[in-house]
Amino acid sequence: MWNHPPRSKKMKILHLCRYYTPHIGGVETHVAKVSQQLRKKNHDIQVITQSHNQDLAESEVLDGILAHRLPFSAEDRKFPTWKWFWNNRELLFHADIIHIHDVFWWVIPLLPLLWYRQKKLYMTFHGYEGNENPRLFAKFWHWAAYKLTLGNICVGGFHTKWYGVTPTYITYGAVNAPKIKALPHKKNTLIAFVGRLEVDNGIMQYLKAFRHLAGQHTLHLDIFGDGSLRKKGENYAKKHDLPVTFHGFVPDVSEKIGRYEVVFASRYLSILEGLANECRVIAQHTNELQYDYLHHTPFASWICICASAEEIAGCLTQRAKVSSKAAEWACSQTWESMAKTYQTLWTLP
C-alpha cells in the first residue's frame, strides 16, 4: 500500500508501464527519471510494471520508488493481466493520479470503477510501434486512450497524423548534463551506435554503410545495445572484417557518448544525448512514419537523416561541425523540466 511519510505529500502518483528499471530502454529511463524528479517534490510515487526476469521480486523499492510487478510477461495475456489488476485494484483506487505509458489496455475492465471513483487518468504516448506504418487496430487503441483519458503527453509531433491523437503537450525527451566532455579526436574516427538491435533502428543499414567506408577511412564502431539482430550483425561484421565492437546493453551508456565524434541513433533520447555532447548524429528511417518521427522535430536540421546505407556513408564522410545551438537546445531539455510538464498536465482543470 501507499507509504505515509511524516511530511505532507502533494499527490499519490501511480505510473503504469510495460517495463521499468532494471530493464534498459527509453520508456524505462523516462519513467524512472520523471519519478525521481517528482519524488524530490515530496510526491509519493509507485509503479506497476511487468516482470522481465523471474528472479525479480514482485514488489521492491528502487531509489525510493515502490515498483509492483506482474508475476509474468503481460504480452498477449489479457485475461491473466486483467485478473491481476482486479486482485490489486486497491493500488489504483488509492492513487490521486494514474498515468499510463502506452499500456492503456491494462486498465480497460476497471475503467467504470475508476470513473465512478473519479480517478484522474492520463497518458503518455511513447513513439511508434514496430517497423511498419501503424495498422488500423493500433490507431484505434491510441485514439481510444486519447478519448478516454483527461490529457496526454506525446513523445514526438507525429501522433496526430498517424494515430489521430491531439497532444496536450509534446516532448522529445530529456538528458542529463553531459559528464564527459568530447575528447580530442585521435587517429580513429570513433562512432557509437545506441539502441536496440532491431530493424526499426537500422542496425544492418549502419553496418552496411560502415562496410562502404571501412577500407577508405580509419573508423571504429562501438555498438551499445542488444536485440534480435545482434547475431546477424556480429556475423556480418566478422565476414567483412569490420572494426566493430558489440558491447550489449550498457546501463551508463549516456555517460560515454562524449567520447565519440559520431553517434548512430534513431530514437529521441539517444539523439538528444548525442547533440548534448556535441556529436554528429546520423539517424536512419525505413518508412514514412519514421521519416515524420525524425523530420517533425526541433532538431531535424541539426542531424543527418538517411534512408539508405549509401546515404549514411555519405553523411559519415562529411565533417560538418555540430551547431552550438543544437548542443545548447539539447542541454536545456532536462528531466526537471519534463517533470514540470507532467505536473502542469495533472493540474489542468
Q: pLDDT digits over 268-293, tens only?
A: 999 999 999 999 999 999 889 999 99
Angstrom distance (rounded) from CA 345 to CA 339: 10
78's CB contacts (< 8 A; 6+ apart) are 105
Per-residue model confidence as pLDDT tens digits over 203-235? 999 999 988 887 666 889 999 999 999 999 999
Asked whether the beta carbons of 158 and 292 are under 8 A apart, the reply is yes
Mean pLDDT to the nearest integer, 294-319: 92
Question: 304 has which bridge partners?
Answer: 282
Given CA atoms 198, 202, 208, 210 in this order, what sign does their dihedral have?
A: negative
Name the least confident of 19-23, 197-201, 254-258. 254-258
- Side-chain half-sphere of 178: how many Cα atoms within 13 Å? 24
Average pLDDT of span 234-251: 92
Percent of the chain residues past pLDDT 70, beyond the cut: 91
- The fold of the 189-332 domain, in CATH, is Rossmann fold (3.40.50)
CB 207 within 8 A of CB 197: no
The residue behind cell 487496430 is 137
Distance, CA of 335 to CA of 325 (rounded, Å): 19
Residue in this structure with the C-alpha cell 490507431, named with its chain if needed: 139
Angstrom CA distances, 49 to 60, 77, 134, 141, 243, stand at 12, 14, 24, 19, 38
Residue 138, pLDDT score: 87
179: pLDDT confidence band, cut at 50, 70 and 90? Answer: low
Q: Compute CA distances 291 → 181, 288, 301, 328, whole Å.
A: 31, 5, 13, 24
* In contact, 267 and 201? CB cutoff 8 Å: yes
Contact 142, 169 (CB under 8 A): no
Task: Give the best-scoring range by mean pLDDT among 100-109, 129-138, 183-192, 340-349.
Answer: 100-109
Quick one: 12-174+335-346 is in which CATH superfamily? Glycogen Phosphorylase B; (3.40.50.2000)
What percent of the chain has a predicted confidence (pLDDT) above 90? Answer: 68
Q: What is the pLDDT of residues 320-349, one digit of tens each?
A: 777 889 999 999 999 999 999 999 999 854
- pLDDT at residue 137 tops 70: yes
A 10 A CB-CB count for 328 gives: 11
Task: Give the residue, 10 or 245, on which the prediction is more confident.
Answer: 245
> What are the extents of the domains in the chain?
12-174+335-346, 189-332
Q: Three-state DSSP class for 337? A: helix
Q: For the segment 195-206, what is each residue's pLDDT rounded down to a tens digit?
A: 889 888 889 999
The pLDDT value recorded for residue 6 is: 42
Tell me what the mean pLDDT of segment 112-120 comes to. Answer: 94
Are 12-174+335-346 and 189-332 in the same CATH fold?
A: yes
Q: What is the pLDDT of residue 52?
A: 82
Per the CB < 8 A criterion, the answer to whether 91 and 16 are in contact is no
- Grid cell locating 196: 536496440
For residue 131, pLDDT over 70 is answered with: no
Q: How far apart are CA 55 and CA 50, in angstroms?
A: 13
- Is the pLDDT reported for residue 297 higher than 90? yes
Closest listed residue to residue 296, CA positions, set 132, 139, 127, 61: 127
**Three-class SS state of 277:** coil
3-state secondary structure of 162: helix
More confident site: 48 or 180: 48
Question: In whole numbers, what is the pLDDT of the chain averaged over residues?
Answer: 88
pLDDT score at 7: 44
Helix (H, G, I), strand (E, B) or coil at 47: strand
